[in-house]
Amino acid sequence: MSSIKPRTMPGVLELLPLDQIAFQGMLDTIRRNYERFGFLPVETPVMEFSEVLLTKSGGETERQVYFVQSTGALEQGGTPELALRFDLTVPLARYVAEHEHELSFPFRRYQIQRVYRGERAQRGRFREFYQCDIDVIGKDHLSIRYDAEMPAVIHSVFRELDIGPFTIQLNNRKLIRGFFEDLGIADGERQMLVLREVDKLDKRGADAVRATLQGEGFGLPAEVVARIMDFVSTRSTGHDHALACLERLGRGNPTLAQGADELREVLTLVRAFGVPETHYALNLSIARGLDYYTGTVYETHLTDYPQIGSICSGGRYDNLASHYTKSKLPGVGISIGATRLFWQLREAKLIGTADSTVQVLVTQMDEADLPKYLELAGLLRSAGIPTEVQMEPRKLAKQFQYADRAGIRFVAVLGPDELAKGVVTIKDLRKQDQFEVARGDLVKTLRVEIEQAAAMKGR
Amino acid sequence: MSSIKPRTMPGVLELLPLDQIAFQGMLDTIRRNYERFGFLPVETPVMEFSEVLLTKSGGETERQVYFVQSTGALEQGGTPELALRFDLTVPLARYVAEHEHELSFPFRRYQIQRVYRGERAQRGRFREFYQCDIDVIGKDHLSIRYDAEMPAVIHSVFRELDIGPFTIQLNNRKLIRGFFEDLGIADGERQMLVLREVDKLDKRGADAVRATLQGEGFGLPAEVVARIMDFVSTRSTGHDHALACLERLGRGNPTLAQGADELREVLTLVRAFGVPETHYALNLSIARGLDYYTGTVYETHLTDYPQIGSICSGGRYDNLASHYTKSKLPGVGISIGATRLFWQLREAKLIGTADSTVQVLVTQMDEADLPKYLELAGLLRSAGIPTEVQMEPRKLAKQFQYADRAGIRFVAVLGPDELAKGVVTIKDLRKQDQFEVARGDLVKTLRVEIEQAAAMKGR
């Protein structure tokens, strides 16, 4: 026996229980905020038909897909009929198209599930990771107002996650397109190549990027490059400044003008949603890929940890599900890659191991009194207080040591004295404090302590 | 475009949002109760190395496994290196063996994740379904006391799920083994064959089963068959009756005696855990398969829906992870197959579609006042009340109709009158009631209403 080495595949994040509690807390916070904004839960199967999943002629996507075959299908050979989802957007498109006549539009859904990508194994790259998405999908039409709701949700989520100051950065694809068309760069792919070059500004420096854009590959005149560099370096520092930045772009090109109008409306409503102006800004360098987004685009950056990159991104798209339905379904959405975010925050020491979800350990003083310990635990559990009972005899010091190591805050002692007096002694391992409480007051007392602790953690 | 039919694979349960809310509510209740009893969360990757997953020489298991291959691996050919988990027990064994030195024992974990089986497509059979497991794993030794904790958790979960009266049925594998050895049926496999025959009692009737056991295949004497039929039909009707049933079995065979002693201790502690004696019983026909369990075994049955079968099962095992470690890891655990349970309860009309998680729709009376609606929604959301805002102009009657269909209970109206008076008009669509409330009292008032509604639903 014991011949097989127990191990997980590379590229997954398997956590020990206290880390799992911290991670679960993050997912719960995200879900709670999504629900507060009126998004409804959807879950889809981890597998989709390959034909449904791989509609796009995307080489990159197909190279990263995990295919699935039952034993029977494997024996028969042939192309796998099933594959694991690589994001939540394609399943959403399939879901909305499939259930179109059973849904109300605008359809507001959240989805928090794992996705799979056959990435090359690399530190910080995951083959299995959680995505936490919201989208609003309209039928035929979706007001630009929903674009302003996304920053409000992002602000609510990250304020509550309490991982430091952050800025939601906004741009608009029409604005980008109009700007480049004005410069005579009309081809979308070429625009993207230029933007990708510009994206290396921080790494390579302005001179190197300028040289590349003026060099053989791009062959852009120095003046055009200067205008590009000026455009993409636009960052607003407050609400009025953001509006002024848009004003400064002028209104020559109708596409650019439309993009600027959309951004203006979004900015105005973002403020009306109550997002403080310290938490949103224009950043005209943000593009978010070529194919998908058509209007507003978002990124979110931690002020003190720029190297982490965007922790929540998304945007507006014209048509969600053209492969599956003739209905036009415009939408806007954002996504948080929770697994990677958790990993990065832990690396940056912004989150540590959580306390246990278990709040109370009921000690065992005398084996014969076990039923009394169980009764006490039952009282606490009925009040919703997670409680563990020391089931086997063990030295008291060991019991305390166990609670301490396990991250359990309160230890309840019910010895002969306590039983005689109708009280319980509570040791608070965090405050290094100890107090006697009448049995009838126990639940109330512990609830207050637990709520105070939760409030202090900003939950 | 729109050339691909949007559809899911057979054997999955994909839900519309309001059903998903009901299902999510079930999972949340299970999780909350698991946490109350001091179980810690674990999640494992959906894929395991095939070598790790398929250690058992189990033909049935391997025939049902889904294998996974990245595009690269698929191109190279060969046996798939990865497979989807088919339960949560094998991943638990791998997890505990892999992290053995980082865990405290007894290790109490819960795990709520989906598992995958390549079942033949059939109504009510799922290829993807949630399992909700708890296990307590000891190192070298685990007290029988933990066996008594399982019925306490089961009771707590199903009381709160509020799906009608249920009984947790208990048996013990040692008791079964000892009983059959007494009858001269010492071979475990033969015991199981007999039990499987007996299991058909309800379907085939006593005469048919008796005939089979006395017939050629089994060739058991009539007297032995009579004793078997008597044994397996033992059902206790209360705590004292359960103890009396055990007494009646005598103490001849030491294995049987040990099983009876274990059951006695478990029954006594189950009562000490506060489980009402109406909710647990001996049922000596329960065996739960041959290989795995070695002591206490559990099933849970809905009194009014026996045809649903066991809704929560489990038992005690001697050694969790013998394939992966030399440590002896005895354990006890239970599992709820939540997807199948949800489907069955819905079929039995024991659960319906949930109300929306969204509690309030803020209507739009005048487009110019949108910022005021957003501000009101912000107030409610900050107080944790899920709120949707009517973002686009629409006839008021349509807005009410939408809320009603979407299962949103409260509609908040903020017209010119309300704005002038500093109040909000709330229409309660469930009570068909309407009232004005001062803005400063709005959150408090709605919280009370929402909490009352939740309390009435037994949450």
| Cβ–Cβ contact A322 with B under 8 A | yes
Indicate the residue of B68, B118, B405 with minimum beta-carbon distance to A71: B118
pLDDT at A459 over 50: no
Indicate the residue of A14, A38, A392 with minimum beta-carbon distance to B143: A392
Chain B 4-33, CB below 8 Å of chain A: which residues? 4-9, 12, 14-18, 20-21, 24, 32
Helix (H, G, I), strand (E, B) or coil at B413: strand
Helix (H, G, I), strand (E, B) or coil at A70: strand
pLDDT at A290 over 70: no
pLDDT at B205: 87
pLDDT class of B452 with cuts at 50, 70, 90: confident
Which chain B residues have a beta carbon less than 8 Å from that of A71? 62-65, 67, 118
* A47-49: strand order across its sheet: A47-49, A82-84, A66-70, B66-70, B82-84, B47-49
Give the N- to C-terminal CA distance of chain B in Å, as an integer. Answer: 47
CA distance B177 to B253: 10
Tell me: cis bond preceding A106? Omega within 30 of 0 counts. yes
pLDDT at B342 over 90: yes
Which chain A residues have a beta carbon less than 8 Å from that of B342? none
CA distance B375 to A262: 21
Q: What is the mean pLDDT of residues A257-272?
A: 97
pLDDT class of A222 with cuts at 50, 70, 90: very high
pLDDT at A220: 94
The larger pLDDT score, comparing residue B250 to residue B305, is at B305
Indicate the residue of B32, B323, B388 with minimum beta-carbon distance to A4: B323
Helical segments of A139-238, H only: 145-161, 173-182, 188-198, 201-204, 206-214, 222-232
C-alpha pair distances (Å), B327 with each of A406, B139, B316, B389: 22, 7, 17, 58
- Sequence-ordered list of residues with C-beta below 8 angstroms from that of A212, at least 6 positions apart, any chain: A197, A218
Which chain B residues have a beta carbon less than 8 Å from that of A58? none
- A269–B374 C-beta distance less than 8 A: yes
What domains can be seen in chain A, in order of their start residue? Answer: 9-46+85-163+304-354 (3.30.930.10), 165-295 (3.30.930.10), 360-456 (3.40.50.800)
CA distance A27 to A34: 11
pLDDT at A57: 52
Among A280-289, B133-142, B188-197, B291-300, the range of highest mean pLDDT: B133-142
Give the N- to C-terminal CA distance of chain A in Å, as an integer. Answer: 47
| Cβ–Cβ contact A356 with B under 8 A | yes
Hey, of A3, A12, A13, A14, which one would you mutate to test binding to chain B, going by the most B CBs within 10 A of its CB? A14
Q: What is the mean pLDDT of residues A128-156?
A: 98
pLDDT class of A407 with cuts at 50, 70, 90: very high
Which chain B residues have a beta carbon less than 8 Å from that of A147? none
Distance from CA of residue B309 to its chain's centroid? 13
- B67–A71 C-beta distance less than 8 A: yes
DSSP B331-355: EEEEEEEHHHHHHHHHHTTSS-PPP
pLDDT at A198 over 90: no
Return the percentage of chain B with pLDDT > 90, whole number: 81
Radius of gyration of chain A measured on its C-alpha atoms: 27
- B1–A323 C-beta distance less than 8 A: yes
Which chain A residues have a beta carbon less than 8 Å from that of B52? 4, 6-7
Which chain B residues have a beta carbon less than 8 Å from that of A74? 67, 80
| Cβ–Cβ contact B190 with A under 8 A | no
Which chain B residues have a beta carbon less than 8 Å from that of A368? none
| Cβ–Cβ contact A455 with B under 8 A | no
CA distance B328 to B320: 8
Chain A closest-CA separation from residue B279 CA (Å) = 16
Chain A closest-CA separation from residue B217 CA (Å) = 32
Q: Indicate the DSSP class of residue B141.
A: B
Hey, of A1, A16, A36, which one would you mutate to test binding to chain B, going by the most B CBs within 10 A of its CB? A36
Q: Tell me which chain B residue has its CA closest to the CA of residue A393.
A: B143
- B35–A357 C-beta distance less than 8 A: yes
| Cβ–Cβ contact A446 with B under 8 A | no
CA distance A395 to A409: 19
pTM: 0.95
Indicate the residue of A7, A12, A384 with minimum beta-carbon distance to B52: A7
Q: Contact, A353 vs A22, CB < 8 A? A: yes
pLDDT at B43: 98
Hey, of A50, A55, A66, which one would you mutate to test binding to chain B, going by the most B CBs within 10 A of its CB? A66
Which chain A residues have a beta carbon less than 8 Å from that of B389? 38
pLDDT at B459: 43
Which chain A residues have a beta carbon less than 8 Å from that of B104? 402, 405-406
Q: pLDDT by residue (tens digit) across A16-75?
A: 999 999 999 999 999 999 999 999 999 999 999 999 998 865 556 667 899 999 988 888
Long-range contacts, A286-289 (Cβ 8 Å, 24+): A286/A169, A286/A170, A286/A171, A287/A171, A287/A173, A287/A176, A287/A192, A287/A195, A288/A313, A288/A314, A288/A315, A289/A192
Q: pLDDT by residue (tens digit) across B127-178?
A: 999 999 999 999 999 999 999 999 999 999 999 999 999 999 999 999 999 9
Chain B 30-69, CB below 8 Å of chain A: which residues? 32, 35-38, 40-49, 51-52, 55, 62-69
Q: What residue has token string 């207080």? A: A385
CB neighbourhood size of B206 (10 A):
12
Chain B closest-CA separation from residue A404 CA (Å) = 12
Q: Which of B325, B302, B321 is nearest to B135 (CA)?
A: B321
pLDDT at B332 over 50: yes
| Cβ–Cβ contact B274 with A under 8 A | yes
Chain A closest-CA separation from residue B210 CA (Å) = 38
Q: pLDDT by residue (tens digit) across A91-109?
A: 999 999 999 999 999 999 9
Give me the interface pTM, i.e. the ipTM.
Answer: 0.94
Q: pLDDT by residue (tens digit) across A173-186?
A: 999 999 999 999 98
Mean residue pLDDT across chain B: 93
Q: Which of B4, B403, B348, B273 is nearest to A104 (CA)?
A: B403
Q: Contact, A49 vs A81, CB < 8 A? A: yes
- Sequence-ordered list of residues with C-beta below 8 angstroms from that of A306, at least 6 positions apart, any chain: none
| Cβ–Cβ contact A357 with B under 8 A | yes
Indicate the residue of A17, A99, A152 with minimum beta-carbon distance to B41: A17
Q: Between the CA atoms of A129, A134, A137 and A141, what dihedral angle is there, to the nearest 10 degrees?
A: -120
CA distance B253 to B259: 10
Q: What is the mean pLDDT of residues B2-25?
A: 93
| Cβ–Cβ contact B415 with A under 8 A | no
Helical segments of B162-253, H only: 173-182, 188-198, 201-204, 206-214, 222-232, 239-248
Chain B 381-400, CB below 8 Å of chain A: which residues? 381, 384-389, 391-392
Chain B closest-CA separation from residue A197 CA (Å) = 30
- Sequence-ordered list of residues with C-beta below 8 angstroms from that of B84, at least 6 positions apart, any chain: A46, A68, B46, B47, B65, B66, B67, B68, B115, B116
Q: What is the mean pLDDT of residues A283-309?
A: 90
Q: pLDDT by residue (tens digit) across B51-75?
A: 999 886 555 666 789 999 998 888 8
Q: pLDDT by residue (tens digit) across B79-108?
A: 899 999 999 999 999 999 999 999 999 999
- A24–B41 C-beta distance less than 8 A: yes
- B118–A4 C-beta distance less than 8 A: no
Chain B closest-CA separation from residue A124 CA (Å) = 16
Which chain B residues have a beta carbon less than 8 Å from that of A135? none
Exposure string over A237-249, b if 16+ CB within 10 A, otherwise e: eebeebbebbeeb
Chain A closest-CA separation from residue B204 CA (Å) = 33
- A145–B16 C-beta distance less than 8 A: no
Helical segments of B15-167, H only: 17-36, 50-53, 59-63, 71-76, 89-98, 145-161
- B385–A104 C-beta distance less than 8 A: no
What residues are paired with B438 via a beta bridge?
B423
- A4–B51 C-beta distance less than 8 A: yes
* Both structure tokens of A153: 């949700």
Q: Which of B380, B305, B345 is nearest to B22 (CA)?
A: B345
CA distance B273 to B152: 6
What residues are paired with A168 via a beta bridge?
A280, A300
Which chain B residues have a beta carbon less than 8 Å from that of A371? 269, 272
Indicate the residue of B18, B45, B269 with minimum beta-carbon distance to A14: B45
Which chain A residues have a beta carbon less than 8 Å from that of B66? 47, 68-70, 82
Helix (H, G, I), strand (E, B) or coil at A69: strand
